[in-house]
Every structure is written in C-alpha cells, then in structure tokens.
Chains A and B, each alone.
Chain A
Amino acid sequence: MTNGYHAGPRRRPGARYAPARKRAFGLVNWRSLCGTLLKHATLVVISIFTIFPLWWSLVSSLKGMKELYAAAPTLWPQSPSLANYKAMFGEASSQTFSLGQQALNSVMVTGGAVTLTTLVATMAGYGFARIPFRGRDVIFVIFLLSMFVPPLGAMMAQYELMDKLHLRNSLPGLILLLASGVTVPVFIMRQSFLAVPQELDEAARIDGASRWGFFWRIGIPMVTSAMTVVALIQFVYVWGEYVLTYIMEDSPNLYTLAVAVQQTFVPGLTETDQPSFSAYGAYCAIAVLTALPPIVVFIALQKWFVRGLAEGALKF
C-alpha cells in the first residue's frame, strides 16, 4: 500500500542495473520529462473534458436571452445575473410546479431514506456478523443473491404494490421504497462489524451488557467510517433517483429535484420583459441547483470515504 505516489524502484547497493541513459544536453533527463509531460497533459485534457459540461451549465444559468441568441456562445457570461434563478422560484414558475416545494421534497425524501437505510443496515450488519442464530448464513446468502437482479428489474410489480398499498402518490411511500435497497449496505456493514474484535463483545457481555446495549454504545462508534460510506452511497443514489420517483408520483408538487430537472417546462418569456432570463438558462439553473448537494456532501465527506475504503469496507 503506497501513499499514492509510485516512487519507482528502490536503488539497492551492490545490485546491477541497466546502464544509465545518455543525457541529451547534459542537464535535463528528457525521457523522464517527456513522461511527466505526457501524464499531466493527458490528465489535464481529461479533466477539461470532464468539467466542461458542468462549467457550461453553470455559465449558461447566469446568461440571459440576449447573450444566448448572440452569434458566438461565450464561455463566460458578459453580464452574469441571477435572473434565471430568481425566475425559477418566482413568477416563471407557473401554477403547475413549485421549485421550492420540489427542493423540499428532495431534502425530505433523501434525508428520510438515507437515515432509514443506514440504521437498518447497521443493525442487520451487526446481527449477521456477530450474533449466532439458526439459519443466519443461509438467510445472508439468499440476501446476497438478490444483488444479481438488474436495477429497475421489478419496477412494474413495485408500481402495482405501491398502488395496492395506497403508498403510490405520496412522499412517505417513496421514502420507504427508496430505502429498501439494503443489500449492498448490509454487506458493507457486516464486513466492517466482522473487523471489530470479538473480545470487545465478550468483555461487554461479561460486564452484563445486552446485545442492544453493546450495539449502541460500543458497536456503532466503532463502525462510523463504514456508516459514512454507506450513507454517502445511499445519498448519491436517492438524491439522483429518477425512474421510480417519476413513475410513482403523479403530480409535479411531489416530484423531487432530480425529476424536476427533466420535467419542468419553462415557457420562455419575451425579450422585452426579461432580457436576462431564458428558458435554456432556467433549465441550466435547475440542473446546477440539483447538482450542488451531492458535490458538496461528497467533498465534505471525502476524508471519511477514503478512510472507509482503505479500512477495507469494500474489501474484495
């Protein structure tokens, strides 16, 4: 395991090496320079390719109708304005949708589903890892097999089920549905509980603690980095979940932001009324708003995520 920088071969005294390369112009190791240049150039090009669409969205959301219709699209707005954003929350939002409500929906659904999944998966992880009970391994294997089902494989039956349970056109129902993908989280939490030394468990029980007490006071604090990994994965999944949300919810007021990005239809206002507003920019504005939380959360939790990976939460 390195620190990320492959320093190359270590020079050992007395070993024989291939002859040193001839240095052109004496002072610079051209071969290594070319290598470094190639690496960085390639990575920079790929980074530009990766960031450009996001940059374009951001820039377009700050542009108005005039700049949009200009002959040459620019990479930076000449007169940046937040008119697109204001309009989306204000008068351009027609009676059929309310972006503020949709943002709130996103927050509620994601918060609820992520909390539920993390809690439930941690409990199950502890149960599968450290509590002996009959059929434990059999149940776990069956649980694992379900990972083979492709995503959205059962969406039709889920639609029918939600309808029969009267959970379909509602937010709590959506929270339950989106929280039900517990297979991978349970797997991860079980792995991390297996890494907790068994002596801790025995010691606590000798002192008279129950399983539940051990779980809350000692177990959970020991696996917080794995829980963060699980929470992060689930957050990213639920925040961006499109298909299930779209089929389950009928009215735009129950949509989440992820669906609103696609389904909002903004009538363009005339140029004389709102020169700084454009439908194109408005779509980009919603996209930027929807894209920000996962990025912010991910960068903030990066440290935990890398630690969780390194600790073997995802060991193969």
Chain B
Amino acid sequence: MDGNYRRGGGPQRRAHRAMPQSTGLRHRKWWGDPVGYLFIAPAVLIYLLFNGYPIVRTILMSFQHYVWTDPRHVYFNGLFNYSQMLTDSAFHDALIVSLKVLGITLPVRLILAMICAVFISRVTMRLAAAYRVIVWLPYILPVAVTMRTWSLLYNPMFGYPNYVLSNLGLNAPDWLNDPVAVLPAFDVALVWEGFGFATLIFLIGIYNISPELLEAAAVDGAGAWRQFWSMTLPLLRPMILLVLVVSLMPLLQSTSEALNFVTPGNSTVVSGGPGDASTTLGLYVYNTAFRSPMNLGYASAMNMTLLVVGIVVSLAVFKTMRALES
C-alpha cells in the first residue's frame, strides 16, 4: 500500500493502480488487454470463414478454368476468363439490360424519395409516422414476395393493371412476355421496392437541418420552392451520396430481383424474360454459375470485374460530390 504512494503521481494515478487488473502482468504487456481478442474472435472468425475466405477464393477462381460438373479438370488459365467477357455477346446483352435498368430506376427512385421526404417532413407528426411506415413497407418485404406480387399483378388474364388499361381503351401488353414491355415493368417494380430506403435516409437528413437556417431564408423572403432548391437540397448532399453509393451496385446486379420476376406458376422457366430481355448482369452471373454451363471460373471473373467497377464508381461518386461542394 505504501508502495502506491512511493511511486508518485496524483490521486487518479494511484486509484488506477489500486485496480487489481492494472498492476498485474496484463497491464504491463505492450499489447494491451488480450481479452479483447476473445471478444472480437467470434465475429471475426465467422466472418473470415464464410465471407473472407470465399472472397479470396473467388479471386483465385477467376483465374481458373473451373466447371462444377467437371471437378477433375481444374487448372489455371490466366486471364482467359476475363478475355471471354470481351467476346461474350450474352454478357454484353446483360450489361445493356443492367445499364438500362439502372439508368431509369435510380433517378426515379431518388426523385420520388425526395418528394416524399420533403412532403412528409412538412406534415403533422402522427400522419408523418403513418406515411413513414407505409413508405418503408416494400423495403422490408422479402424479395421473392415483392417481385412475385408484381409478376402476378402483371398477369394479363388475372391482373388489375391490364384490366384498367383495357377499360381506358389503352394498349394492355402482356408485360412479362413482351420483350419491349418487360423492362419498364421491371423498373416499376424496382422503384416500388427501393424508394422507401431513400425516403427514410433523406428524412433523417431533413430532420437534422437546424430550423434557424430555414428561418433565415424565409426572413429574406424566400418562398418554399426557393428554400428547397437552394438550402435543403445542398444540405442533403451527403444523404444523396449515401443512397447513391449504397444502391448503385445492388441495382446494377439485381440478382435476386431478376430471379424472382418470372411468369408465375412456371418455376422451371429459366428466368430472364422472353429471350433474355430482362436478364440483368447479376442474373447472368447466376445462370453461368448455377445453371447451364456451371462455369464457376467465368462467373467469378465477372463478379470480380463488378467488384472493381463498384469500388471505382463509389469513389468517383464520392469525389464528384466533394468537388461539387466546394
């Protein structure tokens, strides 16, 4: 006890030394408190086993010729899988489909979400809570449910939209079997599914804007529209950035959404619409890996490319937003 005072230091230091754990060997080791490793071990281990190792393995696989049905002839073939992407016309078709889907769905989602967020923030509290729940519903439903529901809605015989359209005298196409109409139909379902997430993020951003800023603008005579355009929108830039970065890659791939958007009742149909008209990139990778050719090597190469593209695009969006801010 006397030794505690002999070592000097103020009351805090003496109290710290009085803790049994602080004077033992554990405290003096340069690597801190090793019980920390025990705390993080389960998370890190389960992640490494089921996510970390597969990522590394995928990178390796992309340089191999690896077909699941022929496991004895696995060998490295360098960049062959990657070069196959350049000549594969089915890959190009899937890429175009994905780009079309992305180009329409993402802007519509953002605009719709922005409108919703601004209006919900200007409505009384109880109603706002109700609208928030409604808007969030499609996002929490299972993917299979959302896409199947829309598939069933688009059914020309039993579905409601075609009934309404034909009553109005408009053309009511067979949405799921018409190669031209299937993409807009898919886009509508995707917008429906995803705009809730963006709305919530924008709402969080709007709630975080301090009212004084808007007061100052109103005092200067700015109307509601001007307020939004020059004040709210720039302040929401980080939120827009977040939504863009988070939803870009999943939208570009759209594996599970495209898998589920098929003509109902026919689960043996290889989904992808009439003549691959709605085969997105993700679906193409899935088909390559798990359906006809089961060419895991090629599928891995495509996924790796998507990963790199995703990182590059995220960084680009990030940098552009930063540049716009200054």
Contact = CB atoms under 8 A, between A and B. Distances in A.
Contact of A243 (B47, B160, B286, B296): B286
Interface stretch (A45-53, A86-94, A221-229): A45-53
A161 B57 contact: yes
Contact of A56 (B123, B149, B196): B149
Interface of A: 1-10, 12, 15, 17-18, 35, 39-40, 42-43, 46-47, 49-54, 56-57, 60, 68, 72-73, 75, 116, 119-121, 123-124, 126-128, 131-136, 139, 143, 146, 148-161, 176-177, 179-183, 186, 202, 205-206, 208, 210-212, 215, 236, 239-243, 246-247, 257-259, 261-266, 279-280, 283-284, 287, 290-291, 294-295, 298-299, 302, 309, 314, 316
Contacts of B321: none
A51 B135 CA distance: 9
Contacts of B300: 156-157
B6 interface: no
Contacts of B51: 146, 149, 154, 180-181
Contacts of B40: 123-124, 127-128, 139
Contacts of A4: 121, 125, 128-129, 207
Nearest to A57: B149
Contacts of A241: 142
A53 B153 contact: yes
A158 B122 contact: no
A151 B250 contact: yes
B184 interface: no
A120 B46 contact: yes
Given A56-B153, A157-B58, A290 B134 contact: no
Q: How many B residues are at the interface, by size bracket?
A: 35 or more
Given A53-B153, A243-B259, A43 B55 contact: no
Question: What does DSSP make chain B's interface, helix, strand, loop or mixed?
Answer: helix
A143 B48 CA distance: 9
A283 B307 contact: no
A160 B21 CA distance: 46
Nearest to A163: B68
Interface string B38-61: 111011101101111111011001
Contacts of A287: 145, 148-149, 152
B32 A134 contact: yes
Interface stretch (B80-88, B90-98, B112-120): B112-120
A290 B142 contact: yes
A212 B36 CA distance: 10
Contacts of A73: 158-160, 163
Nearest to A47: B134
A133 B33 contact: yes
Contacts of B242: 316
Contact of B33 (A35, A56, A180, A211): A211
Given A124-B44, A143-B47, A9 B54 contact: no
B145 A261 contact: yes
Contacts of A186: 43
Contact of A132 (B33, B128, B266, B307): B33
Given A149-B307, A161-B53, A291-B142, A206 B39 contact: no
Given A123-B39, A126-B39, A265-B267, A180 B32 contact: no
B221 interface: yes
Contacts of B15: 206
Contact of A134 (B31, B152, B255, B256): B31
A233 B124 CA distance: 27
B47 A153 contact: no
B312 to A, nearest CB: 11
Nearest to A17: B219
A40 to B, nearest CB: 7
Contact of A294 (B116, B140, B256): B140
B15 to A, nearest CB: 7
B18 interface: yes
Contacts of A212: 35
B192 A53 contact: yes
B274 interface: no
A102 B16 CA distance: 56
A157 B61 contact: yes
Given A4-B129, A291-B141, 10 more contacts: A43-B116, A50-B138, A53-B153, A57-B149, A143-B47, A148-B307, A156-B296, A180-B47, A208-B19, A263-B267
